[in-house]
Structure formats: structure tokens, C-alpha cells
Amino acid sequence: MFLIVEKIIVGRDRNDMEAFGERGTAFIGKHIVGEGDDAHLTNPVFMDVIRPHTILVTGKKGSGKSYSGFVLAEEIVRQEPEIRNNLAVLFIDTMGIYWSSRSPNEKDRELLKEWGLKPEGIDIRLFVPGGFAKEYEDVGVRVDAPFTVSCSELTAQDWMLTFGFNPLDANGMAVEHIIKTIKSKMRDYSIEDIIYEIENSKKLEAQVKNALTTRFSAAQDWGVFEKRGTPVRDYFMRGKITVLDISHFPRSAGGWSVRSMVIGLLSRKIFQDRLQARKGEEFEVMGGGGKENIPMVWVCLDEAHQFIPTEGETAASEPLLTLVKEGREPGISLLLITQMPNKLNQDALSQSDIVLSHRLTSEADIKALRSIMQTYAAEDIQDYINKLPKQTGAAIIMDDNSERIFPIQVRPRFSWHAGGSPSAIRKRGLLDL
């Protein structure tokens, strides 16, 4: 008897299937057949990575979301050179967990073996805010580059959203005035220049001056806003994963707003640069010769609901929504990870063409998933989720392209995942892994 193992490919249409076959697909896991104790793994499941996609990864706490997100990133940089060299992955690390990916996943050696795989470290590039690079180096983790964001590229609106000022109140109007004044005087400026401008302003009242200088001085301590920012193309190296660690900003609500500001600015720049690059690529196809541009990009974002929430706006909302709605054309893919799909902006949900959902329990979250996948109205998502085996990494996959929904087990990572619950026992003499 022959056992023919059929491959399942998601996110690829018939034309691309005919043109490329299985090239440019990522091995993400295996199809689960059967329920409960009878459940077993069968056909391998692959995902298209050569076309732009918006992928949503969701699931309750500890169900395997951050892990699954990185499985896809690993696969992109393991593609054949011709493909991976046209792609770059930017992993925005909100929890500070991906630096460990340089080490092979020794703790899952046995599990990997069951899958016919071996532990392997991934040569990531680690970017940490300028002010925090030393913290990493002190515990023995190599930082490839400290990153900074250019102050002069932030708008008055960005600062207001970050500081929680209303554009119509005295503080909001003062920010608008100060940024406008400083922009009329200089092209590149630092936070010190902004503070100088505030302190010497003849227009602002003492109380307002005070409120603004306190906020801008705090922003200076975040160690990221400088006169000159890291050029956007530095974040995208062909065939590589760049991990941008933004976990260090204060853990308070204010911390999320700094992160939003950084992500917002970066998203705007990615969009502009890719639009430009796309023109170059068209020109090349038309026979006009090549030009070195930033490659097609995958932007992966954990805790996405914090940046593009259903309610309210952050400094990242508008730029990220532009990527969600218009990113496909300039070749930008998004991987959005969230524990709470019902807290994620509706447009981000509805634009997702592939959803990987680990176990979810809240009715509101399941309802949010149902609202995206209207074509699957007949299928009960809740039912599929209930039938998933209990182990981490089990998920349902919903593919808008083939209009299919089925359960999978995400494959183990090649590289070390530092995202589990911390252990009281210190391992490797570094941070808790």
C-alpha cells in the first residue's frame, strides 16, 4: 500500500499554483485529523510567502501565538536564495522575547526529532533603542545596532497622541504652535531644541510651559528620539529577520504610547519607501534596468490590539491602517498577533486573508473572528476550536483564498523561544529563558 502525503497550501491562488507550484511556500505545521485522544497529525500545511498577505494570529494567553508568528519568520529566511533575497522580515518585539532566536531550540530537540527536524539558531539582527543597548550587552547579548527615531519627522499630532493631549485644549494647541515654530526654523531638531523653544516662548503661559517641558523631558529619557533617525532601509536586510525590541519603554500606559509613536513613524516610512521601490521594480520589468531598493517586507507585530485598537486612536493607528488597507500594492505583508481580536480595529480584522487562531474562550473574541470570515458562515468556528486538542500550538486556520477552514498543529521552532512563563531557576546564566 502506498501512503501518499498530500500537501495543503494556503494563501495561494490557482494561477500562482500553476506558475510556481510549491516554490515560495512556508512549512507551518500539519493537519490535525480526529478529535481528543484520537487526534493525529497528517498532511503538512504550507503557506504562500511570495505574495503580500495580512495574517492574523490569535488565541488566548499562552496558546502559542508569539511562537507561531516566529515559525513563519523562520520559514521566510529559509526559502531558496532567489526568494528570500527579495524579502525582509521586521519583527517588532513588544515583549523582548525574540533575542534568544540566535540559539538553537535545544529544549525541544526531542519534539523536533519527531517532526524530522533539528534545532537550529537563526541569524537575526537585533535592534534595541539607543538608550538601552548597554543593558543587553551587560548580560552578554549582542546588539547589532542601536536604533533612533528622528524627532523632526514626528508631527504635532504624534506628540499629542503620545502625551494624551487634546488638540483643542491649551496643551494640545501649545504643542501644535511649538512644532510649527521649530519646523520653520530648522530642518533637523532634537528634543532639547524643542524644550528650548518652549522655555523661550513668549506666547505660552507658565503652566502650559511646565506641562510641556515635563512631557518632553520624559520623552528624552526614552532614549530613542534624536536629531537623526536610523535610515528606514537599515531595518530591512534582504533574507534576514530584524528584531526591533521596543519592550523597554515604561510598562505603564505611557510606555505603549511611545511604542505606538515609534511604530507609527516606521510604518509611514516603510509605506513611502516601498511605494518608491515599487516604481523602480515596475521600471525594471519594463526594461529600464535595476536599482537597489528595499525588498518586499513582512512586518510582524505582537500585541497588535495595543497599536490599532477598536476604540480610540494611537500614534500608530493611522499609519498601520494605511499598511493594512493599501500595503498590498507596494508589497508589504503584515502579521498581526493579538490575544483579543475583538479589541483589534475592525478594518485590520476584515483585511486579514489568513487567520491562524489558537484556542480562544471569550465569546466576544470568537464573534470577532466570525465577523471576518463571513464566507464561512455555515461553519461553526466555535465548534472547530472546541475540538482542538489541548496542546499548545494547536490552531484552526482560515484561508480566505480557498475558503477553507481546518485544524493544524504548528511545527516546533528551530530556534529558541524565550516567551514561556519565566522559571525560578536561572538557565544558561543569562536572563530566564
Ligand X SMILES: Nc1ncnc2c1ncn2[C@@H]1O[C@H](COP(=O)(O)OP(=O)(O)OP(=O)(O)O)[C@@H](O)[C@H]1O
Q: How far is the CB of 300 from Mg ion (least distance, A)?
A: 12
Which residue's beta carbon is nearest to the bound ligand X?
A: 393
Pick from 236, 230, 305: nearest CA to 262? 230
| C-alpha distances in Å from residue 355, one per residue of 48, 304, 328, 400 | 13, 14, 17, 8
- Bridge partners (DSSP) of residue 58 are 338, 357
Note the helical H segments in 222-327: 253-283, 317-326
Widest CA span of the chain, in angstroms? 88
Cβ distance to Mg ion smaller for residue 157 or 338: 338
| C-alpha distances in Å from residue 253, one per residue of 116, 160, 203, 219, 259 | 44, 14, 31, 14, 10
- Decide which of ligand X, Mg ion, none touches 46; Cβ closer than 5 to 8 Å per partner kind: none
Cβ distance to ligand X smaller for residue 61 or 390: 61
DSSP conformational letter for 304? G
Q: How far is the CB of 108 from Mg ion (least distance, A)?
A: 17
Cβ distance to Mg ion smaller for residue 73 or 191: 73
Which run of H or E residues covers position 161? helix 156-163
Q: How far is the CB of 276 from ligand X (least distance, A)?
A: 34
- Decide which of ligand X, Mg ion, none touches 250; Cβ closer than 5 to 8 Å per partner kind: none
Cβ distance to Mg ion smaller for residue 69 or 223: 69
- Decide which of Mg ion, ligand X, none touches 257; Cβ closer than 5 to 8 Å per partner kind: none
Cβ distance to Mg ion smaller for residue 133 or 340: 340
Q: How far is the CB of 366 from Mg ion (least distance, A)?
A: 19
Q: Which residues fall within 8 angstroms of residue 71, CB to CB, at 6 or more apart?
A: 28, 29, 410, 411, 413
- Decide which of ligand X, Mg ion, none touches 64; Cβ closer than 5 to 8 Å per partner kind: ligand X
Q: How far is the CB of 75 from ligand X (least distance, A)?
A: 13
- Bridge partners (DSSP) of residue 297 are 88, 332
Q: How far is the CB of 37 from ligand X (least distance, A)?
A: 19
- Decide which of ligand X, Mg ion, none touches 129; Cβ closer than 5 to 8 Å per partner kind: none
∠ Cα 84 89 95 (to 5°): 150
Query: What residue ranges bind Mg ion (CB under 5 A)?
Result: 66
- Decide which of Mg ion, ligand X, none touches 56; Cβ closer than 5 to 8 Å per partner kind: none
Q: How many residues does the chain have?
A: 433
Cβ distance to Mg ion smaller for residue 150 or 352: 352
Cβ distance to ligand X smaller for residue 55 or 296: 55
Q: Which residues fall within 8 angstroms of residue 410, CB to CB, at 6 or more apart?
A: 28, 29, 64, 67, 68, 71, 356, 393, 394, 395
∠ Cα 220 309 170 (to 5°): 50
Query: What residue ranges bind ligand X (CB under 6 A)?
Result: 59, 61-67, 339, 392-393, 410, 412, 417, 419-420
Q: How far is the CB of 390 from ligand X (least distance, A)?
A: 12
- Decide which of ligand X, Mg ion, none touches 62; Cβ closer than 5 to 8 Å per partner kind: ligand X
Cβ distance to ligand X smaller for residue 224 or 369: 369
| C-alpha distances in Å from residue 170, one per residue of 182, 376, 411 | 18, 50, 54
Q: How far is the CB of 103 from ligand X (least distance, A)?
A: 14
